[in-house]
Chains A and B, each alone.
Chain A
């Protein structure tokens, strides 16, 4: 018995006193010693910090298999499994964290705004504090390089592409009808109020394999995951009323945003160049519901908007004006679940449904159409290590289109089609180091209606050349089914295709961002037809082609002059295409060779006011003049305007906002329309396409009610 006790005591003492020396060295990837790294055995008190030479040494009394942990600010932690008894002095190399702020980013083609972006060109506030944007997300994006200002349309035209070459996604799901209804040459607005979105990524090319059915560009809008607080916002404007409110519960929250817009009172006050029978009127509502599960988040977004207007448009081909009476109903619904599966794998699954209904009375003809668009999406992804990410996904798009056309005193014609597109994709992201990273992707897609399949590779690489600057390059093949206007008459098409090459240089230092990009985009298999407008009897083909190349420059500076923020965008583009019913390769009428914007915001502290001034310029746009030789070779005079916005904080939660577009009253011309027939002198009479109003004045009062008594709508103006 006694021997046993003695033995036990001895062993215990040994355990208590028998200490082992753990020593070694810590250095970085360049073999420089790291001072101050925290070196310790996980789960014990035993450890120390490395000295000036990176050396460490400490005693431990624990035995057996342990984990030696080394941590140091901005470096990846090392966890080294060892057996204390067999430990030999070692050197540990710490790698700089690729998550750190100054790691390289793959950003060719990408313009980001909002919270999560590391190099963001727009801050969350800017999306809408930009003078002249009047709260329209698309208008704010038009001050960024790579876009064209097409005033008579209001849509996004990217790098020589048509507006429908940009696909819009909310939380990763397609929005089939992103714009409000409009008549010829009366600009439209995007459907989405900035109120519900926390981040915007706008790609002008070379985007990820996750997104398809877009030839030029994708616009990715993300709804807020978790609202900050309960609040109610009330807006009283010269053009209508708005009310939005957010409620929060333990695990869920709901935000609702409604607006009623009516241009009738405004029209009476300041007559416009449009001959309205009933000025534009719309009622819209949006809601986001979020539910936080243990391992995931469900977001349900829905938007409804009903609008109508009735106007008379001059027609050069007849003595009387054309009457356009339009009623548009739009419903968009989207549900997305994002959550953790097993072992670091995450899942995104969602569905979106868009319903667009138009009832158009064109003089005495009636057109009714309806588009039902469904998108199902599933994606799984994992960060296998800090440096290696993979993802797989699938998309299914279903579009049903029906139209009935009843010409005056004639029998009704009906058209319909059903388009089904399925796609799968996969992507890998790999960081070689903090300086070098690449992304490879592939997307395979099948269009059942057109009976065509294709495979599109995408690749990008980024290399950091200095502390604040980097280069990145992107390449990709993109495709898109032809637009509704053609599909409703024929299905004898292939998909339209583009190929992008983009080289990007980014310099980003605190308060200063410079981004310069050169690109080359090749178009092929564009749809051509041989009639005035696409009709049943047109002869269609995929024989169109074209190219676009250019330079986009963006400069932003926030810190040099106190309270002043500004950015300057410049785009140069050289593009020609032979598509639609073009007689030859030519620059389309929506393209201006030079486009520039200067956006400034100045905070006047003593007046508690933010003053915003935006200057837009573009060189002349081509138009076709049948009175002269050649095709699309006349040019309009250049376009310019100055917009002003002034937000005054009456109190922390009450804002008075005033804005005026085209302050100088510059007479701008977007293009010219010509009559189909020559007059007696053999000339085709023409008419200039001009802005609907030379100036637009807007006054609003915005009131926020919230518990913190601080938040206001300044960022939504």
Chain B
């Protein structure tokens, strides 16, 4: 009887380890595909992982994030842009319903709106820029030391301030702060969001030029 239990335990352990492995393998492969310049395949794989890992928000996070990143590259082609952003929104909605207080998800929502604004400022600027700021403010309350929140907010504000030739030093200060936060930020796992430092450094350079 003992043996039976032991066998079952072993088998079960193997089984779950394999599933754990599958998750890691899958995620790694998806990241590799994305890096190789194959976002469609990467999204497909993230989507499949999401279907198996219903309680993990990360796969869907990346389905949305990869689509948003791709959208920013096709900004002038509305026909490509719209389905990408719609897909990102759909996927993000699935996770936001489960956890409306996840700062990382709120940052993605802000990015989706930012993409709509950049694609047609006249049409979407007035309507969405308030929403973007509201999202960043909410995220800031939830995670004041998340570098992506601090940087996202500063970067969004800086665009408007430059246009009105207003002083941007406060926002540049926030970018410096974000960069410091990037260096101390410890993601919960290797797959948790950990992007943004390169963009922040670039924004810092722009600040220095002035």
Q: How far is the CA of A216 from the CA of B40 in the complex (A)?
A: 50
A229 & B133 in contact (Cβ 8 Å cutoff): yes
Residues in B8-60 with C-beta less than 8 Å from chain A: 8, 11, 14-15, 22, 26, 40-41, 43-44, 47-49, 51-52, 54
Which residues does chain A contribute within 8 Å of B3, judged by CB atoms?
Answer: 5
Question: B-side binding surface: helix, strand, loop or mixed?
Answer: helix
Which residues does chain B contribute within 8 Å of A125, judged by CB atoms?
Answer: 122, 126
A652 & B164 in contact (Cβ 8 Å cutoff): yes
Q: How far is the CA of A4 from the CA of B78 in the complex (A)?
A: 63
Q: Indicate if A38 sits at the interface (CB-CB under 8 A).
A: yes
A to B contact number (C-beta, < 8 Å): 99
Q: Indicate if A708 sits at the interface (CB-CB under 8 A).
A: yes
Interface size on A, residues (CB 8 A): 48
Distance (Å) between the CB of B20 and the closest chain A CB? 11
Type the 1/0 row for B70-95, where 1 means its CB is closer than 8 Å to any CB of A. Answer: 00000000110011100100000000
Given B15, B51, B78, which contacts A42 in the complex, CB threshold below 8 Å? B51
Which residues does chain A contribute within 8 Å of B87, judged by CB atoms?
Answer: 73
B48 & A45 in contact (Cβ 8 Å cutoff): yes
Q: How far is the CA of A36 from the CA of B87 in the complex (A)?
A: 15
Distance (Å) between the CB of B124 and the closest chain A CB? 10
Distance (Å) between the CB of B109 and the closest chain A CB? 13
Distance (Å) between the CB of A559 and the closest chain B CB? 9
Q: Indicate if A671 sits at the interface (CB-CB under 8 A).
A: no
Which residues does chain A contribute within 8 Å of B79, judged by CB atoms?
Answer: 101-102
**Contact count band on B:** 35 or more
Q: Indicate if B196 sits at the interface (CB-CB under 8 A).
A: no
Which residues does chain B contribute within 8 Å of A43, judged by CB atoms?
Answer: 51-52, 54
A8 & B52 in contact (Cβ 8 Å cutoff): no
Q: Indicate if A715 sits at the interface (CB-CB under 8 A).
A: yes
Which residues does chain B contribute within 8 Å of A272, judged by CB atoms?
Answer: none
| Nearest opposing residue in chain A for B19, CB measure | A45
Q: How far is the CA of A709 from the CA of B156 in the complex (A)?
A: 12
B127 & A707 in contact (Cβ 8 Å cutoff): no
Residues in A538-567 with C-beta less than 8 Å from chain B: 558, 565
A12 & B44 in contact (Cβ 8 Å cutoff): no
Distance (Å) between the CB of A55 and the closest chain B CB? 15
Given B4, B82, B122, which contacts A558 in the complex, CB threshold below 8 Å? B122
Q: How far is the CA of A603 from the CA of B123 in the complex (A)?
A: 13
Which residues does chain B contribute within 8 Å of A38, judged by CB atoms?
Answer: 43-44, 47-48
Distance (Å) between the CB of A68 and the closest chain B CB? 11
Q: How far is the CA of A42 from the CA of B50 in the complex (A)?
A: 9
Q: Indicate if B99 sits at the interface (CB-CB under 8 A).
A: no
Can you sample 28 A-B contacts with CB below 8 Å? A5-B7, A8-B7, A9-B7, A36-B44, A38-B44, A40-B47, A44-B51, A45-B22, A45-B26, A45-B48, A45-B52, A49-B40, A49-B41, A71-B47, A101-B79, A101-B82, A115-B127, A123-B122, A124-B126, A228-B131, A229-B130, A649-B164, A651-B164, A652-B164, A706-B130, A708-B130, A710-B130, A711-B126
* B interface residues, Cβ below 8 angstroms from A: 1, 3-4, 7-8, 11, 14-15, 22, 26, 40-41, 43-44, 47-49, 51-52, 54, 78-79, 82-84, 87, 122-123, 126-127, 129-134, 137, 157, 160, 164, 166
* A interface residues, Cβ below 8 angstroms from B: 1, 4-5, 8-9, 12, 16, 36, 38, 40-47, 49, 69, 71, 73-74, 100-102, 115, 123-125, 228-229, 231, 510, 558, 565, 603, 608, 649, 651-652, 706-711, 714-715
